[in-house]
Structure 1
């Protein structure tokens, strides 16, 4: 059994690497697009069936228009940097859903939802572009598949520990601590790194699409002003508002420089 687990783990580490085109780094991803995209598309369609999709309004149209501009900017960047065809399996879709939750999300393959509750924070088209860039970036970087892969690896670790540890006392200690240690020490930092990466990639592609990257930090200042309790950053899946504001402010000049390579020097 130990040999089987070791073989599986080594095999997954070798075959599950994919390069993130925006960072050049190898990522841990066990799920090819051909496997995860159909599942995501089906789940997205079911979500739309079960929720109230807003159609025929200026806000709904703006969500679609901004999404198309951001996805187009991403494709321009990918084509210019040696990744033609990277998006061939993506099926972009942008929907506004009636829900007061202040949130937006993206499924693998480019299926995006904005809740109406986030629109007052966005305020305008550029604010929507900030959020849209972030969500599109999650799809571009395969963050959904990576998180599923990490969750599977976490489960393999738990099984391996239970197989390897024969002492009952130490096994109890392992089972009591593994979940907390692997979550706080590995999974939460992993998720936060994805949020930070999506912020940076999103800033870049929104600028290429013609939106002012300086507005990203302003949006997060508005998010912070909402108040409310948030867990300490090390116990959260997301960076703190202050961390995001500082990062986005520091990255905005580089995003403008990247946009200039595509002839974009003025912004909305």
Structure 2
């Protein structure tokens, strides 16, 4: 009985010491170190670059990098890596992602929906916010506590089943046949933090509303009801972003000028 009590006590201490606070003040359980997550994100990104087609279009790369650089000026320095990397993947998929370790992927299909620099900044700010809020770490920590048997290691990535699950937990599983989107709370949090970042950089926060209206049109009305989805509905997102856009400080500096390719 004493041994059992000791084990339970140690487990409780481990969980308590793993508690963290998100950028919006939400309590989180974080079990993995920043270095572990950065290594995993970097390794996963390198694999993606060998498996997906990378866009070589100079104007597109310059445009996306320009928007990203403007936002990164307002992103705190991270302890586990020194530089963010942006890669544009040549794909019709309307998507983008950011991984621990400062890895950002943007699909060219997104540029058909995010029709100007401000809307693209909304998406990139949102994805960077997932990293800053440690959402991947949070999800992997929950999976670990749920005793899924998943191991955070190179061996796990070498195993196809574990690899796909890990990629899904980091938000890029759709490429690997595993769809596991971020939860509503994490998505809403990334919306808020991302909007603050893009507004600080001089992008128009109200364009975030237009972006999600475009997303709603692009979905063709096929989105499931909010109660059946892990994401906020488009209507909820639009309402929340409209309210948040009205509260961000007005930008007084020189606004970014990132010409979108024709």
- TM-score (normalizing by structure 1): 0.75
Equivalent residue for 2:243?
Answer: 250
Equivalent residue for 2:88?
Answer: 96
Equivalent residue for 1:43?
Answer: 44
Aligned length: 223
Matched, 1:149 2:141: yes
User: Does the 8 A contact of 1:212 with 1:267 survive in 2?
Assistant: no
Shift of 1:244: 0.6
Report the 3-state secondary structure (helix = DSSP H, G, I; strand = E; otherwise coil) of the residue aligned with 2:20: strand
| Structure 2 Cα separation of the partners of residues 2 and 232 of structure 1 | 45
Shift of 1:70: 0.9
Matched, 1:230 2:223: yes
RMSD: 2.5
Instruction: Report the more deviating stretch, 232-241 or 119-128.
Output: 232-241
| Structure 2 Cα separation of the partners of residues 48 and 4 of structure 1 | 46
Extract unaligned runs of 5+ from structure 2. 149-179, 258-262
| Structure 2 Cα separation of the partners of residues 197 and 251 of structure 1 | 12
Report the 3-state secondary structure (helix = DSSP H, G, I; strand = E; otherwise coil) of the residue aligned with 1:89: coil
Matched, 1:115 2:107: yes
| Structure 2 Cα separation of the partners of residues 190 and 134 of structure 1 | 12
Equivalent residue for 1:160?
Answer: none
- Between structure 1 and structure 2, the one with the greater Rg is 1
Alignment of 1:42-61 (within 5 A): 42-61=43-62
| Structure 1 pair 101–265 and aligned structure 2 pair: CA distance change class (3 A) | same
| Structure 1 pair 2–89 and aligned structure 2 pair: CA distance change class (3 A) | same
CA offsets per residue over residues 4-63 of structure 1, 9 Å max, x none?
77346413321212233x323432111111111111101101101111111242122111
Match of 1:205 among 165, 178, 197: 197
User: Does the 8 A contact of 1:189 with 1:234 survive in 2?
Assistant: no
Extract unaligned runs of 5+ from structure 1. 76-84, 157-187
| Structure 2 Cα separation of the partners of residues 31 and 138 of structure 1 | 16
Report the 3-state secondary structure (helix = DSSP H, G, I; strand = E; otherwise coil) of the residue aligned with 1:18: strand
| Structure 1 Cα separation of the partners of residues 116 and 236 of structure 2 | 23
Shift of 1:71: 1.4
| Structure 2 Cα separation of the partners of residues 142 and 253 of structure 1 | 26
Instruction: Report the more deviating stretch, 212-221 or 1-10.
Output: 1-10
Equivalent residue for 1:217?
Answer: 209
Report the 3-state secondary structure (helix = DSSP H, G, I; strand = E; otherwise coil) of the residue aligned with 1:73: coil
Shift of 1:102: 1.2
User: Does the 8 A contact of 2:70 with 2:256 survive in 1?
Assistant: no
CA offsets per residue over residues 181-213 of structure 1, 9 Å max, x none?
xxxxxxx99821010000000100101111000
User: Does the 8 A contact of 2:187 with 2:231 survive in 1?
Assistant: yes
Shift of 1:235: 2.8
| Structure 1 Cα separation of the partners of residues 92 and 217 of structure 2 | 17
Shift of 1:249: 0.3
CA offsets per residue over residues 205-248 of structure 1, 9 Å max, x none?
10111100000011000111121422222332311111110010
